[in-house]
Structure 1
Amino acid sequence: MDDQDFAANSSPSRIARPARRILITGASSGLGAAIARHYADHDSMLLLWARDEARLEAVAHACRVAGATATTRSLDLVDSAAALAALAEEKAAGPIDIAVLAAGLGDIQAPDERVEDPGRVARLGMVNYVTPSAMAAALADAMATRGGGHIILIGSAAGFHALPFATAYAGSKAGLARFAQALRIAMAPHGVHVLLASPGFIDTPGGRQVPGPRLLLMQPDVVAARIARASARGCGHLVLPWPFALLWLVDRVMPSRWRNRLLRSLHPPAPSP
């Protein structure tokens, strides 16, 4: 081999780079599946988590066809200890560069209920707030030790409002939003970027179950691309579509009596005693 051949074969463009390891929870459908498809390329190793093993494997297959390496793990995030143990296994196998904690549960109070079932409240609290927050803390610590990484927490525009017909959902997403803000401030000096994404209505099976008009309905692939771009830019909070940011401001400045009356009017009233 002459010097010219050696130089050509040792150029930086020929050096294989390690694949990005990307963890995505809630990857079997909806926004989580769209995010998995968005990141699926030859430079990505996807760690896909969800409850439904069959649907998860279908998403993983599509990602492999697109060129990514993909592994799956079936588990329920209501079991926080099991999720943290699984995360420890994933971290032991190699560093996680991007974590998208997209798993979540929704719930709307039935018209004949005065308040949501306590068991559902507990379950939503675990899946929407406790487990993703605990996982984000564990990921942030490992990323800070390495000097960099991206954590994306999927919240909701509902977290801006005290929805009387979705108290557990709105409350759990509000808690996640405050956690994300605090973690972002804490991790900024360590090169770890934390993004909270607060989308409005998305055209997913869960989103289509929401009663009433779904204003400014978005497609999951579009939302996934917007979230990935915002994370890459180091954005801290993404509200989409943008009119929902205006609704947040209106909620903050509207007199509480008017606001509470408006929120109650969005859902059938609870039954009389």
Structure 2
Amino acid sequence: MTFAAMIGHMKDREVPQRILITGASGGLGSALARFYARPGVSLSLWGRDVPRLTDVAQACRAAGALVDVRSLDLSDVAGAVDSLNAEDNAHSVDLALFVSGLGDIRPPADKVEGADLVARLGVVNYVAPTALAAALAARMAERGQGRIVLIGSAAAFHALPFAAAYSGSKAGLARFAEALRLGVREHGVAVTLVSPGFIDTAAGRRVPGPKPLLRSPQKVAEAIARAAERRQAHVVLPWPFKILRLFDRLLPRALRERVLLGLSPPSR
């Protein structure tokens, strides 16, 4: 199904009236914002890059959506939760997509990732989205309805020695998403974890190395929208990464470690 056809299909179905998207100034977040933008939909777009966030908001308004924007640093977790609570008080959020995240790898000259890098990725990739999801899930559970999407990574399936902070933070997010989903589903709240592989975004292109099965942000946004609509528990994009996940699990530890170490960038 083409991107345009998917938009038309979604128009004919019941769609959330109030949608929150964090990371809306990034490649995937902006693609999701444009996908959902249409008359009758109110978008709350959060992002760090104000000029890009402004451009995305203008495009969504041109598509007929009501849009408000918020620029904030998710490393201020308490402030982000306060902002979320204030927005939900003003207008209940029907669907939240927590897209914000940072990707990085160990510099070739370093033997171990720096403590500051580990801390930064831990807060932005795990602490902030889980705190926001928990705060919103509690509110949705009281209302008896709502949908939450957490964007993880296929890297969460593998112990990447050159990206321990990234793969570790995404692995924690994956386990949290599963636990939260089980905890709130009886209250009418759906939690979907999305584990994408390589996405052709500006941030993704800055990470060195090969990027097999690279997908466009628009295609990934379409798949995320479908998964959220179906209230799917977990979706891996694209599907061959499911095989890699199984492969990682089945390999004997010694062989798995040899493979993972072979993927590491050489030290200097």
TM-score, reference length from structure 2: 0.93
Structure 1 position 250 matched with structure 2 position 254: no
Query: 1:269 Cα deviation (Å)?
Result: 3.3
Q: CA deviation at 1:267?
A: 2.2
Q: Is the aligned partner of 1:111 residue 2:108?
A: yes
Indicate the residue corresponding to 1:232 in structure 2.
229
Q: Does 1:167 align with 2:155?
A: no
Q: Which moved more, 1:85-94 or 1:244-253?
A: 85-94
| 2:72 equivalent among 62, 75, 98 | 75
Q: Deviations over 1:131-170 (max 9, x none)?
A: 1000000110111111100000000000010000000000
Distance in 2 of aligned mates of 1:140 and 1:88: 11
Moved more, 23-32 or 256-265: 256-265
**Residue 84 of structure 1: aligned partner:** 81
Q: CA deviation at 1:19?
A: 7.0
Question: Which secondary structure state, in structure 2, belongs to the residue aligned with residue 49 of structure 1?
Answer: strand
Q: Does residue 160 of structure 2 align to residue 189 of structure 1?
A: no
Distance 1:129 1:18, change over 3 A: closer
Calculate the TM-score normalised by the size of structure 1: 0.91
- Superposition RMSD on alpha carbons, in Å? 1.3
Amino acid at match of 1:199: P
Which whole-Å CA distance do the structure 2 matches of 1:129 and 1:229 have between them? 24
* Distance (Å, rounded) in 2 between the aligned partners of 1:123 and 1:21: 30
Identity of paired residues, percent? 58
Instruction: Give 1:190 shift.
Output: 0.6
One-letter amino acid of the counterpart of residue 229, structure 1: R
Distance in 2, matches of 1:34 and 1:263, equals: 32
Select the residue among 114, 117, 121 that pairs with 1:120.
Answer: 117
- Gaps of at least 5 residues in structure 1 are 1-16
Structure 2 stretches lacking a partner, 5+ long: 1-13
Partner Cα distance (2:144, 2:192) in 1: 17
Residue 215 of structure 2: aligned partner? 218
- Cα offsets for 1:194-224 (capped at 9, x unmatched): 0000000000011112222211110101100
Shift of residue 265, structure 1, vs aligned partner: 1.2
- Partner residue, 2:7: none
- Runs (4+) off by over 4 Å: none
**Secondary structure of the residue that 1:106 maps to in structure 2?**
coil
CA contact under 8 A between 1:19 and 1:43: conserved in structure 2?
Answer: no
**Whole-angstrom CA distance in 2 between matches of 1:250 and 1:43:** 45
- Work out whether residues 194 and 234 of structure 2, in 8 Å CA contact, stay in contact via their aligned partners in 1: yes
- Provide the rounded CA distance (Å) in 1 between the counterparts of 2:251 and 2:145: 40
Offset of residue 270 of structure 1? 3.2
DSSP-derived class of the 2:199 partner: coil
Deviation at 1:234, TM superposition (A): 1.1
Count of matched residue positions in the alignment of Structure 1 and Structure 2: 255
1:254 alignment partner AA: L
Larger radius of gyration: 1
Residue pair 1:26, 1:49 contacting (<8 A) in 2 also: yes
